[in-house]
Structure 1
Amino acid sequence: MNGEVSNDWQVEVFYDGECPLCLREIKLLRRLDRKDRICFTDIADSSFSPSCFGMTMKDFMDEIQGRLPNGEWITGVEVFRRLYAAVGLKPVVALSRLPGISHGLEFGYRVFARNRLRLTGRCDDGTCKVN
């Protein structure tokens, strides 16, 4: 954790601080997190060590990761649901759980996650393709 956490945090988010789209979302969440319910951990920070969590950097880069206070790991859209709930946007979270919307969000996030390096201009070796 980055030392900017209260004792009342509800979710820790592991985000890529070098991803422009990810940073926009994190900046919004920081503004909305008036009660310090989110612990923000930048996986692009040089001090970040994925092995401390028993994971690889690829694990963190492939899909957004989150951790709950009890140590449970969450991934993908569920991380965003927990983040939005932590800042008081529970009606948005409830909508995101509706069957058609939930499936659409899961699909959309998987497509984004597989292609985010290319979409954010960080695919310099030409190996990134839209999947």
Structure 2
Amino acid sequence: MSQTPLQTVASPSGGPFPAPGAAAADLTILYDGGCPLCLREVRFLRRRDGEHGRLAFVDVAAVDYDPSSHGEISYRDAMERIHGLTGSGEVVRDVEVFRRAYALVGLGWLYAPSRWPLLRGIADGLYRLWALWRLRLTGRPSLDQLCCEREGRCSL
């Protein structure tokens, strides 16, 4: 399995779950390795996590991304919005991924206000807008075009 320099997985098989006897990451974040802002966030979180192994990262844009190894989250779904997989296999999405990731690296206080009832709705709504416009704002093709290219059914 080829890996980008930022990709980290919790098991040699590339899945978010460990081999017997190995420790699982508390949260595996599925990220878009073609998104400049996503890469900055991944680099930051990796630095904060250091050698603790609380976080693992999987680049869904990698040609060998396999949904069956990552909670059956398809390429399209993973590209539409951020997903995370907990060590127990729970799938979390959207701002909740950031809440948990930041808590795991000791910065939970930054996202704590986004749990408050009034701010939760605002934070979640702003993230949905970002997710909707992310590709366009970062100068990337549409999600349909990316999926078409990935599936090899587009004429170039």
Give the TM-score band, short-chain normalised.
Answer: 0.7 to 0.9
Quick check: 2:10–2:25 contact (8 Å CA) kept in 1? no
Task: Tell me which residue corresponds to 1:18.
Answer: 34
Q: How far does the alpha carbon of each residue in 1:94-121 deviate from its partner, in whole angstroms, 9 at most, with x for none? A: 2221122211110110000011110100
Task: Tell me which residue corresponds to 1:30.
Answer: 46
TM superposition shift of 1:51: 4.1
Alignment pair present for 1:90 and 2:100:
no
Quick check: 2:29–2:83 contact (8 Å CA) kept in 1? yes
Q: Which fold has the larger relative contact order, with Cα–Cα distance below 8 Å and residues 6 or more apart in sequence?
A: 1
TM superposition shift of 1:8: 5.3
State the aligned residue count: 126
- Aligned-residue Cα RMSD (Å) equals 2.3
Task: Tell me which residue corresponds to 1:48.
Answer: 65
TM superposition shift of 1:124: 6.6
| Structure 2 residue matching 1:13: 3-state secondary structure | strand
Find the aligned partners of 2:142 and 2:78 in 1 and give their Cα distance.
20
Task: Tell me which residue corresponds to 1:121.
Answer: 139
Alignment pair present for 1:7 and 2:7:
no
| Structure 2 residue matching 1:27: 3-state secondary structure | helix
TM superposition shift of 1:47: 1.6
Report the structure number with the largest CA radius of gyration: 2
How do 1:51-62 and structure 2 match up within 5 A?
Answer: 51-52=68-69, 53-62=71-80
Find the aligned partners of 1:72 and 1:124 in 2 and give their Cα distance.
29
TM superposition shift of 1:3: 4.0
Gaps (5+ residues) in structure 2?
Answer: 1-6, 12-21, 146-156
Find the aligned partners of 1:102 and 1:109 in 2 and give their Cα distance.
11
Same amino acid, percent of matched pairs: 40
Task: Tell me which residue corresponds to 2:17.
Answer: none
Find the aligned partners of 1:95 and 1:101 in 2 and give their Cα distance.
7
